[in-house]
Structure 1
Amino acid sequence: MTGNPYLSVQALTKYVKRKFDADPHLRNVYVKGELSNVKSHPSGHIYFTLKDDSSRIQSAMFRSSATQLKFKPENGMNVLITGDVTVYEASGQYQLYAQTMQPDGIGALFLAYEQLKESLGKEGLFEGRWKQPFPQYPNTIGVVTAQSGAAIQDICSTIERRYPLAEIILFPAIVQGPQAAPSIVQAIEQAEAYGLIDVLIVGRGGGSIEDLWAFNEESVARAIFSCKVPIISAVGHETDTTIADFVSDKRAPTPTAAAEIAVPAREDLVARILERKRSIYTTLSSHIKHERKRLDTYQNAYPLQFPERLYRPFTEKLVGFEGRLLRTAQNVTGNRKSNLFRMNGMLATLSPNQRIKEGYREISGMNDRLTRAAKHDIRIRNDRFQTSIRMLKALNPLDVMERGYSIVYQNDIVTNSVATFQVGSEVQIRLQDGTVNATVQSITTNDGEES
């Protein structure tokens, strides 16, 4: 037995592997089954088991092929795979090395779209609290799209027609193909770094789901979410919906609609200005009418129409005081003159020299007393006169009304006692700036009696 050629395990495994590799039926095989034990390695490789109701096979997809997947393989997913079958020498097991993979019964792009939509939705990127407000009158509109596409032409013509004051700045990007997503991300970052963009439109014209796929990439979605400039997504036609539409601040069905959202219409602004003009004119007219009415009220106020009636009683008192002062001064002067005549008569009965000397002394003394008395009396009368003037000023109804008081008239007669009023009487209350007509509802005396 020792002469038999025994093979090592490695040699046997290599032989079996060569048989597998040489079999053309194990090249580019088409296999369908259910994924299980899916593991994504940090290197980018994907390891999984492909099974059906009766069998299973260990499988792997290397990074070069895995990066081409549009969806994320998950346990329980039914897939269609093309690849090669060979032997893994380390374990001696045969394995399937997948080259392509697509969902069984559903499109790979649609599945990838739904997976990313669900993932970003759970993160909250679609929530309204993150949506940024748009300026009412933007100065600069940024556009991220293809430089030669129809989208930029539609956007420019719409903005120039509706709001020619806005400046349009194009940030060109590739919007279709493998390089589209990085190009769109770079253009969005350039627009934000520019610093003067008020609104950013990101989009392109219509196409198939493959043509629009760059706007379903996670990198584009996160770039839109992170941008500090308000973004309007305008991808494809009205029926096309992309991940960019959900994460952007506002979605427009077409690039033309995005331009209409970004800027106001010139006709609307003109109409708004005319409406403001009419409103200002109406407000000013109403204010002028109100102030003119106030002026008429002041001009027709009772104190201005008949001012003499207010201070006539005080004028009469002042005239009376002046008359009394004049009569008193005349009486004092007359009495002094009488005394002077009497003293002159007495001097005539005395000896000439002695009588003259005594007369001079007496006359001089009387003259001094008369002068002092007259000055004293005049000073007292003047003080009384000044006091009367101050009293008149204090009692002046115009001054009193300026301090918040009023004058009550009944039948054009000033009244100052509740005894002159009856319930239901018509009264006029004169204030500083006008007259109030009122009716007596009730009367209460200082003793608390009410009628």
Structure 2
Amino acid sequence: MFSFMNPGAESGPTTWTVSELTAYIRELFELDYRLQEVEVSGEISNFTRAASGHLYFTLKDGAAQIKCVMWRSQAERLRFRPAEGDAVLARGRISVYDAGGVYQLYAERLMPAGRGDLALAFERLKEQLAGEGLFDPETKQPIPTFPRKIGIVTSSGAAALRDILTVLQRRNPLVAVLIAPTLVQGDLAPPQIVRALRWLDDRDDIDTIIIARGGGSIEDLWAFNDERVARAVFAARHPIISGVGHETDFTITDFVADLRAPTPSAAAELAAPDLSNIRPYIQQTSRALADGLANAIAQRRETLRARLRLLWLLSPRRTVDADRQQIDALTDRMARAAQRLLDRRAGRLAVAQAGLTAVSPLGTLARGFAIVRDGDGHLIRSVTQARPGEAITIQVSDGVLGGRIDGQGRASG
């Protein structure tokens, strides 16, 4: 036992260390037998199952709350699976957790006592929206594989935003990000979330929208169970990924969204591909495309060759070429035959010309004879035809001479 007064001190309170004071308070709890076996009713909030198997949660009602822990040995004997929003009866003892400086209920038994008000409201809205078709798989939009810009609806100072940005920067730094900051908790959060979502959805440069916040109790996440938010998500023309809470948390927004992610970080992973994983695929695809293109070109080239060969066989060009050559040969033969004919005719003509020349007056003239004509151009064959004083022409071999018949019947020039 610890005493409040230091007997050796004259006045003033005793100075305690934090450990001493906490141990004293714990002892006070443990000495009160009424607190060593209590049964508390309330609604489960902030429920967590640790990797060790221990359960950590809060029991609350409309005015207060108390932290609770149930060790794995007791948790393994439970006949139901506790969940956020469950109304339960917890039996155990009250003591102090020294390291945290808080008193808490160490539960040994846990029994369901119905659903809490928030859980009932969640189920009613879930059933209503499901009946209206807001959860139907047919209404879900596919998430773009290679987004250019991602919109994010969350609190500007939240750890969830830092987690999303870190994941996007690591996986795909080429993706642009546009943040629409909003409250994510409290009565003012739903209209702000709707406003932020609609602002992003009205833009044409957005490919995917992430709605996110970190984990918390059902009260902390209640803004994402609001009907206004659910209907805004359903009406959005851009695909939406919901990354609200932890893996065990479910909200109405998760059901309405096109894709539900267990955490904000997981939402970022689903929104953008990892470039390190895509690069080998791109290289492999590029090689496959190059090989396929080369094969296609080779096949087309061979097909073209075959068709050219067939075209050559069916083409009239060979016949035309042969006929053209034959025409050239016939033309040459005709030219030679014509030349030979002309040569023969020329020889015969020369012989005939020589014969004609021999009997021609011109030949006679060439031998020294002359042709005399009267003024009318008639040949004078005899002197009896010449009249004195008549003009005459004398044709010799190289020209014509003029003259006149004198009175004695002789020609004078």
* TM value normalised by structure 2: 0.52
Match in the other structure for 1:192:
201
Q: Secondary structure at the match of 1:209?
A: coil
CA distance in 1, matches of 2:119, 2:129: 15
Deviations 1:167-197 (CA, angstroms, capped at 9, x unpaired): 2232222222333322322321333355543
CA distance in 1, matches of 2:152, 2:215: 16
Alignment of 1:245-324 (within 5 A): 245-286=254-295, 289=298, 313-324=326-337
Superposition deviation, residue 248 in structure 1: 1.5
Q: Secondary structure at the match of 2:237?
A: coil
1:330 counterpart = 2:343: yes
Change (3 A) 1:280 1:106: closer
CA distance in 1, matches of 2:115, 2:296: 72
Alignment of 1:4-403 (within 5 A): 105-193=114-202, 196-286=205-295, 289=298, 313-347=326-360, 352-353=369-370
Change (3 A) 1:276 1:310: farther
Deviations 1:337-372 (CA, angstroms, capped at 9, x unpaired): 3332232132169785459999xxxxxxxxxxxxxx
Superposition deviation, residue 278 in structure 1: 0.9
CA distance in 2, matches of 1:342, 1:319: 34
CA distance in 1, matches of 2:329, 2:142: 77
Deviations 1:240-297 (CA, angstroms, capped at 9, x unpaired): 3221122212222221221112112102331233124313432453356457768988
CA distance in 2, matches of 1:291, 1:113: 64
CA distance in 2, matches of 1:344, 1:355: 20
Change (3 A) 1:344 1:155: same
Deviations 1:121-179 (CA, angstroms, capped at 9, x unpaired): 23222334443344333222221122333211221111001110112232222222333
Alpha-carbon RMSD? 3.8
Deviations 1:313-338 (CA, angstroms, capped at 9, x unpaired): 55533432222222232233334333
Q: Secondary structure at the match of 2:217?
A: coil
CA distance in 1, matches of 2:372, 2:300: 84
Amino acid at match of 1:183: Q
Superposition deviation, residue 312 in structure 1: 5.6
Superposition deviation, residue 234 in structure 1: 1.0
Amino acid at match of 1:243: I
CA distance in 2, matches of 1:296, 1:133: 47
Gaps of 5+ in 1: 1-103, 359-451
Match in the other structure for 2:77:
none
Amino acid at match of 2:344: N
Q: Name whichever of 225-234 and 150-159 sits farther off.
A: 225-234
Change (3 A) 1:280 1:318: farther
Give the structure with the higher percent helix: 1
Superposition deviation, residue 217 in structure 1: 0.9
Amino acid at match of 1:197: I
Q: Secondary structure at the match of 1:316?
A: helix
CA distance in 1, matches of 2:143, 2:370: 121
- Does the CA-based 8 Å contact 1:347-1:355 persist in structure 2? no
CA distance in 2, matches of 1:159, 1:150: 14
Amino acid at match of 2:232: A
CA distance in 1, matches of 2:349, 2:278: 96
Superposition deviation, residue 203 in structure 1: 1.9
Identical residues among aligned pairs (%): 38
CA distance in 2, matches of 1:144, 1:282: 45
Q: Secondary structure at the match of 1:234?
A: strand
Amino acid at match of 1:250: L
CA distance in 1, matches of 2:328, 2:118: 106
Superposition deviation, residue 214 in structure 1: 1.5
Superposition deviation, residue 218 in structure 1: 0.3
Gaps of 5+ in 2: 1-112, 379-413
Amino acid at match of 1:341: A
Amino acid at match of 2:163: D
CA distance in 2, matches of 1:341, 1:132: 114
Amino acid at match of 2:241: I
CA distance in 1, matches of 2:207, 2:303: 50
Deviations 1:43-86 (CA, angstroms, capped at 9, x unpaired): xxxxxxxxxxxxxxxxxxxxxxxxxxxxxxxxxxxxxxxxxxxx
CA distance in 2, matches of 1:355, 1:162: 130
Amino acid at match of 1:220: V
* TM value normalised by structure 1: 0.48
Q: Secondary structure at the match of 2:218?
A: coil
Change (3 A) 1:159 1:343: same
Match in the other structure for 1:8:
none
CA distance in 1, matches of 2:191, 2:267: 23
